[in-house]
Amino acid sequence: MVKVTSINVGKPQVLIVDGKELITGIMKFPSDAPLFLSSIQLEGDGQADLAVHGGVDKALCVYCQEHYSHWEQVLGEKLEYGAFGENVTVLGLLESDVCIGDRYELGAALVEVTQPRQPCFKLAKRYGRVDLPLMVQKTGFTGFYFRVIREGIIPVQPDVRLVSRHPGGVTVQLANQLKYHDVRNIEGIKRILAVEELSASWRASFSKRLIELEEANV
């Protein structure tokens, strides 16, 4: 059973890290009211660095509630929903189950999986753990992004329903494996590039790698 446990938003704010100011939108907090989901973001939400965060391919960041207990042990603290900068904290949509191109109804909106979430240095800064982004990559507990196919209102605890499963069967877990671990798998790269719904940034990255690998094998 899939259940959204929290919808989280937050505007960019200044954090003081090592005596320096860091502007970040990673601080998200549970909403207590319905919010409108546009093609680029939730009402009341925002990102600090629009070059790498937000936009149509990354309108909603999703993270799995199942991973919270692991990170609470690693970090030695209780984590509140939104702790990983996600807009949607969800139970029952693991990286091993969700495929690039899968579509879901989320409240009144229709959304589509585009890519795994790539943990950035600001996650490390938030928790004072320089190794945290790499740990997220190694575990595969990355979460993923939705693009918005149909805008709509998102309730505080919206229903979520699978509308269509992508026939390519490229899971978020597999995408992470190809990105970070099985990096020379030409057939795997071709498989993920065959998924039209893959985000533009990941398509560019994998396309570049494929060219390099094929040239090296000539």
Q: What is the DSSP string of 139-200?
A: HT---EEEEEEE-EEE-SS--EEEEE--TT--BHHHHHHHHHTSTT-HHHHHHHHT-TTS-H
Q: What is the pTM of this model?
A: 0.94
The rounded percent of the chain whose pLDDT value lies above 90 is 82
* Chain centre distance of CA 181: 18
Residue predicted with more confidence, 202 or 27: 202
Average pLDDT, the chain: 93
pLDDT band for position 159 (50/70/90)? very high
The pLDDT score that the predictor gives to residue 34 is 97
Q: Which residues contact 118 (CB under 8 A, 6 or more apart)?
A: 142
Q: Look at residue 201 and tell me whether its pLDDT is greater than 90.
A: yes
Tokens of 48: 């600090």
Tokens of 168: 């390519």
Other C-beta atoms within 10 Å of 77: how many?
Answer: 11
Tokens of 138: 């190694």
Q: Which of helix, strand or coil describes residue 68? A: helix
pLDDT in tens, 137-149: 999 999 999 999 9
pLDDT band for position 79 (50/70/90)? very high
Q: Look at residue 189 and tell me whether its pLDDT is greater than 70.
A: yes
pLDDT in tens, 81-106: 999 999 999 999 999 999 999 999 99
pLDDT in tens, 20-67: 888 888 889 999 999 999 999 999 998 766 666 668 999 999 999 999
Please, are residues 192 and 163 in contact by the beta-carbon 8 Å criterion? no
Cα Rg, the chain, nearest whole Å: 17
Provide mean pLDDT across the span 189-211: 98
The pLDDT score that the predictor gives to residue 207 is 98
Q: How far apart are alpha carbons 75 and 161 in whole angstroms?
A: 33
Q: Look at residue 218 and tell me whether its pLDDT is greater than 60.
A: no
pLDDT band for position 122 (50/70/90)? confident
Q: How far apart are alpha carbons 201 and 79 in whole angstroms?
A: 30
Cα atoms in the 13 Å half-sphere on the side-chain side of 123: 19
